[in-house]
Structure formats: C-alpha cells, structure tokens
Amino acid sequence: MATYPTLIVHNARIFTGVAQRPEVQALAVTGRHVAAVGTNGQIRSLAGPATVVIDAGKRRLIPGLIDSHIHAIRGGLNYNLELRWDGVPSLADAMRMLAEQVARTPPPQWVRVVGGFSEHQFAEKRLPTLPELNQLAPDTPVFILHLYDRALLNGAALRACGYTRDTPDPPGGQITRDGHGTPTGLLLATPNALLLYSALAHGPRLPHEYQINSSRHFMRELNRLGVTSVIDAGGGNQHYPGDYHVIEELHQHHLMTVRIAYNLFTQKPDEELHDFMHWSSVNQIGQGDEFYRLNGAGEMLVYSAADFEDFRQPRPELPLHMEGELEAVARVLAERRWPWRMHATYDDTIGRALDVFEKVDRDLSLQGLPWFFDHAETVSERNLERIARLGGGIAVQHRMAFQGEYFVERYGAEAATRTPPFKRMLEMGIPVGAGTDATRVASYDPWNALYWLTTGKTLGGLSLYPGSNRVDRTTALAMFTRMNAWFSGEEGIKGQLDVGQLADFAVLSHDYFSVEDEQIRQIVAELTVVDGRIVYADGDFKPHDLAPPPPMPDWSPVNFGSRYWKSQGTLLARTAGTRSTTACCARPAHGTAPWGESGLQGFWGLSGCSCWAF
C-alpha cells in the first residue's frame, strides 16, 4: 500500500541548510519528518488524495529557528500579564500603550513591562521619569524592568511592595531615596539583579489555568516569528519541578507548538551541590521526547560564579571560594555525564572556570560531553583556545544590541569591536550557537539577533563591529538552526531540511537573503510547521491556521496589540480580537474577584465570556 505525503509545500524558495543541496523548490512531509526535497514537479507528483498541498507563492522557506538560550518556560507563565515594548520606536508610543493598559487593568492587578527593550531604541533616548509614571497611573501599580540594570516603580507599586524608609538595601542592590529617605521608585542593580526580581515577585500571579493559556500564547508568538525549538536556560525564581507543571501538562496533552530542551537552574546559594546531586540521581539526561526533554545543568552552576551582565556597573570580583564550589559541582556532573551550561559574561570568570574544568578533565575527560559557556562577551583569545582544547562550546546572545552603548561608555569603542568575538570562535572550530536570552534582558524576536550578527548594530543604531567580527546571512542563519542542534545533542535530527530530519520550518514574510539590512528586523513567519503540522498561519495561508482560545484574563495586554513592533505604519493596534461591550467582558467593579473572570471551563481555562470575534 502506497504511503503518500501528509503535507507538500511547493513553488517556494527553500533554503535547506544542507551544503550539498542548499536550495530547492519544494518539499514533502510524511508524518513528523521530511520525506523528500526537490523540484516542483518531482514533489507534486508524490501527492495523494489526502495530502495537504500548499503553494508558497515563491516565498522564502527556511528551517525552523532554534533559540539556544531563552527563558521560555518562565516567560510563558507570565506572558499574558506583560505589556511588551520590544521594538517600539518612541517613548511617546510606549507611554500611550502604557496609559491604555492602565485604563483597562482592574485592581489589584499590575501593569508590567518586563524587559525586551532598551531606552536607546526610543527616539527620545530615555526612559520615562517617575513623575511621568505617577501622573499616568496614580492608583494602578506599574513596574518597568529595563534590562537587568534598573526597575521603575510608580507610587502604587512601591506601596504594593511595602518599600518604606525602613526597608534596607539588599546586597548588590540599591533602593534610591529622596532627601527624607523615602524610596523614589527607582531600583538599581549594583550589579545584583535580585532586588529587581524581588520587586516583580510582589505582583499577583496568574492562576494555573491562566498560566496554561499564557504559555500557549507565548509559544504561538514564537511560532509567529518562525521559532520552532528552544533550549530553556532555567532562570531565577524558576523552581524545579513546581514551576514546570504547566509545560508538562501541555506536553502531556500534545499541545506544545515549540520544542523545549530544558536545563535545571539551582536556586539557593550553598545548596547547589545538593541540588545537582539530587537531580542527577533521579533524572536521566534526554528523558522525555523531541518536544520536551531534559538537556542538562545550568546556566547557574554556583552562585559564587555569578558575574551578572550589567555594563553600567563595574565588573564584579568573584569570591576566592568560587573555584572550590564550582569544582565540586563540575565533578558530579562529569562523573554522571551530565552536560552543563555556565553563565559567564567576563573573561576573568571564564578563565577561573576553565582552571576548574581543566582540573576536572585530568581525572574525568570532558571530551564528547556537550558543555558550554553562555554569553562570553569579553572572552580572550587564550581562553578561546582553552575552550577548544576541552571540547566546549559557546552560546552567544545579542545582549550587546541592547547594552552596547553602555559597554562603549565604560570600556571604549575599541574594546566593543570583539564583544563577543563570535566570528573568531567560528574560525577556531568551536561549536557556536545563537540565542536571545529573552525575556527579561533582550527581546525574544530572533530577527533582532540575526540583524545584530550580520550588521553589528545596536537597537539604537550604534555600529559596534567591523567586518572582521560580523558574519554573512547564511552563517548567521546556521547559528540559529543547524549549529544550535549541537547544544541539545540533536545534530542530524533538526536544524536542516533534509530527508529524515524533523519537519520544522517557516515560510517568511520577506526573503531574509535579499531584503535590505533594516528590513531583517521586520520579518515574521506567515506559515510555521512543527513536527509536520501547521501551528501558525497568517496572510494568504490564514485558512490553514488553528487559532488558540482568547488570551486570559480578558484585560491581558496580549488582547490589545502587545506584540513585538513590526513596522507596517501603525503601532500594532491590530488586536487579537474585537472586544465586545457585552457585560461578561466588562471590566469588573471594584471589589470583585481579582482576575475579573468566572465560570472556568475546560482544559484551557476558558472563562464564561465568549464574546470575542476573530
């Protein structure tokens, strides 16, 4: 009995990522895998009576993007609560969005802008002032996180956090105060961002049913940008296994639209060794499947090695006991063949960590174990050579696109020209992959990172890198596809469009290889396929889309255009749905249930309100 393809896409400009056959016209999918690639005629002839056949209209099709460093699990739990300023071109636009969200947010909820933007992207080249925030929102708590250097809280948020003249500054953080000692609302990381985390944690959390809805909408947003796989780097206040229940429930019900390989991030100083000994005793590397699987340890291995990422502050000096703590953890991981990733911004941190890894390697070979550093902005040539000898890798992210101006101000333009030296890493044969480090520092939009890799420019337009530290578009795309498969141990399984590989791909709104540089940042996917099934479709492909349920709660910023700016002449005012004036969607009166929702129904936690038009 003949087996026909389940899906065919033809009349496309397909970049396969395979050197021997980099471009074809059509591909066929059978089940979960690519079954054939070739010419339009070759592939169309394979169609059967039930095959879904899509004419791509000569659009560019690429392998699904893989983000090797993102905080997707944590980001999904909170996505529906967050107003996004990612890419918004002016502070005036951002403040208009903020005012509109304040008007629709019921008490006691907060309005939160949690990273993903830089003041340098704004035409005004500044953040809002605290008086501006307090005038705009005298009663609704407003929290704005800018990178990991500061947070702005209006008076209502200060009151909700309980910060007073008697609240002490935590280690590595500063609560700025007026002449009377009263907190002003500006919180600074100096350079420890724990204070910023702690303030954000005072805000109400979404209930479990809403977190499920929120996580699905975040995955859909990633699909809209052509992302089909991520490696989750854990994160502060992301506890295992408690904060993983939502993504595990989605996985159990086959409702994930992004593949996630996750690393376990220790949460308490002095308990790191205990955590990794326990986790590596009760879990197996690779457990799960190709949609949800355990990838290893990190990015936090020991807190004494944390060197942060705030270029507005001097490089922190790590304590003398760091090496001993790191060696104890690295030995356990090496003995049990657990891959690891390690946050390291500065060369000094990398050098001291390599002293430890080389010592461990003398007893327990690290060859063949996919361990790697994250970030590595100021890594030296000597330490690159040491990483190469030990068989390690480096995952880079476009944090300099958001903070490059601050780096230049502190260290000079010359030092910034190789920060990080990703082109040199590639020349040395070190495994190098690219990611975003979203959602609290940089944006989750990979096209910003591809723009940065190829142009060397910040969001504010500052040119950081000469040609010697920029890569061409094909290499940059490989860093977001094929090369990233090394970091999850999935080389040859995904990252290319070749027979037998997983059928993950995206049809783009613009041809990445031919558009002008500035247009790279405007690219979105018009069709995204994961595991052989369509998970997102728009434009001409909209009839193939299976839209998710409305975002919850009904006042969520996601319902009102809180999406990454893709300039089409308007400020993303196109909403996910048209809000009815029907009573069930009305803003709740003061004193009603805090989420303004009732009648939870079904797996997705849909409220009794159904008055949405799509």
Q: Tell me: the pLDDT tens digits for 532-576?
A: 999 999 999 999 998 889 999 999 999 987 666 665 433 333 333
Structural domain spans, the chain: 253-262+269-488
According to the model, what pLDDT value does residue 547 have? Answer: 85
Q: Are 566 and 572 in contact (CB under 8 A)?
A: yes
CA 53, 57, 62, 66 torsion-angle sign: negative
* Euclidean distance between CA atoms 437 and 326, whole angstroms: 23
Q: Are 58 and 71 in contact (CB under 8 A)?
A: no
* Euclidean distance between CA atoms 475 and 479, whole angstroms: 6
Residue 588 pLDDT > 80, yes or no? no
According to the model, what pLDDT value does residue 2 have? Answer: 67
According to the model, what pLDDT value does residue 441 have? Answer: 86
- Mean pLDDT, residues 233-239: 93
* Euclidean distance between CA atoms 501 and 531, whole angstroms: 10
Candidates 512, 457, 459, 456; CA nearest to 481 is 512
Distance of CA 306 to the CA centre of its chain: 20
Residue 609 pLDDT > 80, yes or no? no
According to the model, what pLDDT value does residue 561 have? Answer: 75
According to the model, what pLDDT value does residue 591 have? Answer: 31
Binned at pLDDT 50, 70 and 90, residue 45 comes out as very high
According to the model, what pLDDT value does residue 412 have? Answer: 97
Of 173-187, 325-339, 440-454, 570-584, minimum mean pLDDT range: 570-584
What tokens were used for 10?
């033809």
* Euclidean distance between CA atoms 602 and 168, whole angstroms: 46
Share of the chain above pLDDT 70, in %: 91
**pTM for the whole thing?**
0.91
Indicate the residue type of 99: A
* Euclidean distance between CA atoms 444 and 221, whole angstroms: 9
According to the model, what pLDDT value does residue 575 have? Answer: 32
Q: Are strands 612-613 and 533-537 parallel, antiparallel or unpaired?
A: unpaired
Residue 600 pLDDT > 80, yes or no? no
CATH of domain 253-262+269-488: 3.20.20.140
Question: In sequence order, what are the beta bridge partners of 457?
Answer: 463
According to the model, what pLDDT value does residue 1 have? Answer: 57
Residue 80 pLDDT > 60, yes or no? yes
- Mean pLDDT, residues 54-68: 98
What are the pLDDT digits (tens) for 203-214?
Answer: 999 999 999 999
CA 362, 368, 370, 376 torsion-angle sign: positive
CA atoms within 13 A on the CB side of 579: 21
Of 168-177, 215-224, 402-411, 605-614, minimum mean pLDDT range: 605-614
Calculate the CA dihedral of residues 458, 462, 466, 468 and round it to 10 degrees: -10
What are the pLDDT digits (tens) for 107-123?
Answer: 999 999 999 999 999 99
467 or 573: which carries more pLDDT confidence? 467
What are the pLDDT digits (tens) for 360-369?
Answer: 999 999 999 9
- Mean pLDDT, residues 90-103: 96
Q: Are strands 612-613 and 578-579 parallel, antiparallel or unpaired?
A: antiparallel
* Euclidean distance between CA atoms 445 and 433, whole angstroms: 16
Average pLDDT in the chain: 91
What are the pLDDT digits (tens) for 252-275?
Answer: 999 999 999 999 999 999 999 999
* Euclidean distance between CA atoms 492 and 469, whole angstroms: 28
According to the model, what pLDDT value does residue 248 have? Answer: 98
According to the model, what pLDDT value does residue 564 have? Answer: 66
